[in-house]
Amino acid sequence: MTAPLLRPKRKNPVLRTRLPTLPPAIRSRVALGLTAAAARGSFELQVCRDCATVQYPPREACCACLSDRLDWRVQNGAGELISETLLRHSQELFFRERVPWRLGMVRLDCGPTVIAYLHGDCPAAPARMRIRACLDRAGQAVLVALPEKETPNMADDRQLREMTCDPKFRKVLVTDGKTAAGQAVVEAVAAAGADLIWVGHAEPWKKLPGFDRLKAIPQVALLPLDVTNSRSVKEIAGEIGGRVDILINTADHHRNFGIASRHGVETARAEMETNYLALLRLAQEFAPAMRARGADGQSSAVAWVNLLSIFALSNFPPHGTYSASKAAALSLAQCLRAEMRASGVRVVNVFPGPIDDEWNQQLLPPKLAPAALAAAIVKALQDGIEDVYPGDVAQEWLARWRDNPKALERELAAGAG
């Protein structure tokens, strides 16, 4: 059984911060299909359309019939551990700092045999396992073998924690606690075991609903943070930037209507100010310190979460300028992800469908409850997922967008959202 994780000791300020190291990250273009699925929390393998062979590792052609008609399909991951070894020495810096490292060969029920990292609670071979595709510190897909049944303290496994961003015993900044979504995130992160939660609020003189409930949470500390003000962001970053392990940007400015229904650019400017430029300000002030702390012990900086919208994938005309601001934020988040990757800090983009709030009153259900959104964010951190699409609407839009982006654009323009 995995030993429970202990609260880390206070860092000695005299000791230098270690530079982050990453596992090997080179993958072929076809192998990135495995990474794309792992980023969504899915385990997919190539399946041949002609002979139905399931193959691993990924290839350009079927290993049985040489057909190039290969599809990525979800697998359940069930299999049997047939052998294992313990890595005690490595030429790779990442593994040299972390040995011993447990590895094993698992024969999947669907056919292929894979090499996977072994969770510490996996019994010796032969034994039943379940394989999960995870993203490693370099952002590439790796396979992890987990016990067939859940075990106590499973998430505290040393190897598994290297590939996740679990909030347990970590310090978290939630940039905007005014909204129902932001407050739900604070409560969910606290329930997940966060050590300290800073909650930003732009107008501290206002008695906003829900703040008394947040103040009652022992880990919460309220901060006067206005993400639309560069000076405010810089001051808070100077105060706590070197201690933030997980930053969750919940700042959101949402107004209805598109282009012709509203005169002037004031509303669109406010949306860009909060949804796009605020992310840029936060990235400029907090990202350098978080990059430097990518290897700062057990509770190093591990994740940056952006609350985007499924409307960022394809513009939703009734919320046209809002969709545009979220599309801009998505592009900026991809740049941030590229710059943070060298430090091992994961950038998680969350694409919810319509949230059940005042700005989506006229949209018919289903709508995403703030508590469900918060639970999806925490689960993504615990599982190490990179792209999250919570809710039925987001899942449907994602499927339609992946199948035919132009068809989705035309359907939305025709009012068939």
At 317-347, the pLDDT tens digits run 999 999 999 999 999 999 999 999 999 999 9
Same domain? For 111 and 259 the reply is no
Same domain? For 69 and 202 the reply is no
Same domain? For 37 and 82 the reply is yes
Does pTM top 0.85 for this prediction? Answer: yes
pLDDT in the model for residue 416:
55
pLDDT digits (tens, 9 = 90+) for 279-328: 999 999 999 999 999 888 777 899 999 999 999 999 999 999 999 999 99
CATH number at residue 82: 2.40.50.840
Which residue ranges in the chain fall short of pLDDT 50? none
pLDDT in the model for residue 325:
97
Final residue of a structural domain among 136, 161, 186: 161
In a domain, 8, yes or no: no
CATH number at residue 367: 3.40.50.720
Same domain? For 144 and 183 the reply is no
pLDDT in the model for residue 410:
94
Give the residue carrying structure tokens 């080179």.
Answer: 26
Domain span including residue 73: 32-161
pLDDT digits (tens, 9 = 90+) for 357-370: 877 777 778 899 99
The rounded percent of the chain whose pLDDT value lies above 70 is 98
